[in-house]
Structure 1
């Protein structure tokens, strides 16, 4: 079967202290890091051995994974398995890039976020250019706060034309039409992020072909629904897989709503769902989804 796994282990430490992130500047103890490494290696071993399935894997750590050698090694190793269609990770790109020489770049991809004030702009841009020179598949994004607008415009001007620049609506921030237009000029798909998506009772791929896995192997339909489907390592999750409606009232995170069947995002991001890369350049302005499918407040 084709299965997409969103893996989030116990790692919570990050080298940045973004004011909009609740996990900024956390420090894991040595024991916590050892536990995270063991959990990740167990997951990687499971995925490598699961040759009867076609797997796609996105690592979504609370902290920054690529500053840890075991995350770099996991991505590189998984990228070489024929049954792994895609392996990707969300990253602030604070790590070096030479480890990518050990990866199959036909399989590996990166979802990169620029955080103004946390790293020098020129350093981040240089890392992006290194990725482009290595022909790595990657997207670049930014949180759509008013104080980030000029940095986002600068990024769009300086990034290679083929690199998609995405904008996440800031949590708790309301955009009037003029503000939304400014962000949409940079990311034509920003209208999908502007409002939380009404999801209650709607069909979603999570729990059927997409699952969330934690460090202990507990399987849930997604990161945002706590009900357990079973465990990855004893196989008890398998009988629980199947179509099911979303139990939440709204879904406001891209890694969640991208899987809603009522949205066209699997077509928009065909071949690049995990790394958030559109199949082709987005139109100059994406049409706003119908308001009766969105939250209004």
Structure 2
């Protein structure tokens, strides 16, 4: 079986304090951290047992995971399993990076987000340079707030040419961007127009629930993060019986980690083997 898993455990805290993010406001207790550790270790053990499968994993935590050693250890163990072909994670890139030397770096990738209100660009770029020096694949992204337009363009000009810079559109406010702003952001990220919309998805074909699933800390699996109805639990020996093609039940899909798996958009061709870490298969920028 070939399966991509978007794993999101109980972790819900961050070392950054972005105004628009609720998880920056939560400080976890020791008991909450222990619950997350146990869930993560159980998940890693489960993957290790599935020796005949081909598994790719994207960690999508509600917060920042790589400031926690347990996630370093999970990466190290998972990337060294023969049945795992890719492990990626969404991160603000604030943690130390020496642990990647114990990973199989051919299977390791980071989806790094720059937060202009939380870290200066020079420091963030130094982390990117370290990833290059260590030979780790990564993409860089930023939320497309209008007040950060100049910084985003500056980031594109300063990043190495081989690094894809994606922009997540701010869609909470209708008609947020002027035509000029749309053009400027598209000049940075050619895929920005695809992100800057809610794609009609009801009854559309999607790999979610078939070859791609989301999994939470207790093993509950769903088609994706945005359809709350469970379809089973990975710790059920017969969980694979629930993996089959089914039409999307949501009216629209507006998040990259959801719509990238919609068949009609053909983004699996655009991203190829880089779909989990959000790196296009060919240079398009």
TM-score, length-scaled by structure 2 = 0.97
Question: Which is further off, 9-18 or 166-175?
Answer: 166-175
Residue 38 (structure 2) pairs with residue 38 (structure 1) = yes
Q: Deviations over 1:14-40 (max 9, x none)?
A: 011111212223211000000000100
Q: Counterpart of 1:203 in 2: which secondary structure?
A: coil
Equivalent-residue separation in structure 2 for 1:198 and 1:235 (angstroms) = 35
Match of 1:150 in 2: 150
Asked if 1 retains the 8 angstrom alpha-carbon contact of 2:215 and 2:222, the reply is yes
Shift, 1:150, TM fit: 1.3
Match of 2:78 in 1: 78
Match of 1:28 in 2: 28
Shift, 1:271, TM fit: 0.8
Residue 186 (structure 2) pairs with residue 184 (structure 1) = yes
Match of 2:167 in 1: 167
For these two proteins, the number of residue pairs brought into alignment is 283
Match of 2:236 in 1: 234
Match of 1:251 in 2: 253
Q: Counterpart of 1:106 in 2: which secondary structure?
A: helix
Q: Counterpart of 1:269 in 2: which secondary structure?
A: helix
Equivalent-residue separation in structure 1 for 2:239 and 2:257 (angstroms) = 21
Shift, 1:236, TM fit: 3.9
Structure 2: any 5+ residue segments left out of the alignment?
none
Equivalent-residue separation in structure 2 for 1:101 and 1:148 (angstroms) = 34
Q: Counterpart of 1:220 in 2: which secondary structure?
A: strand
Which 4+ stretches in 1 moved above 6 angstroms? none
Structure richer in helix, relative to its length: 2
Equivalent-residue separation in structure 2 for 1:132 and 1:155 (angstroms) = 16
Which of 173, 187, 199 lines up with 2:201 in the alignment? 199
Equivalent-residue separation in structure 2 for 1:96 and 1:40 (angstroms) = 20
Shift, 1:171, TM fit: 3.2
Match of 1:110 in 2: 110
Equivalent-residue separation in structure 2 for 1:48 and 1:154 (angstroms) = 42
Residue 7 (structure 2) pairs with residue 15 (structure 1) = no
C-alpha RMSD of the superposition: 1.0
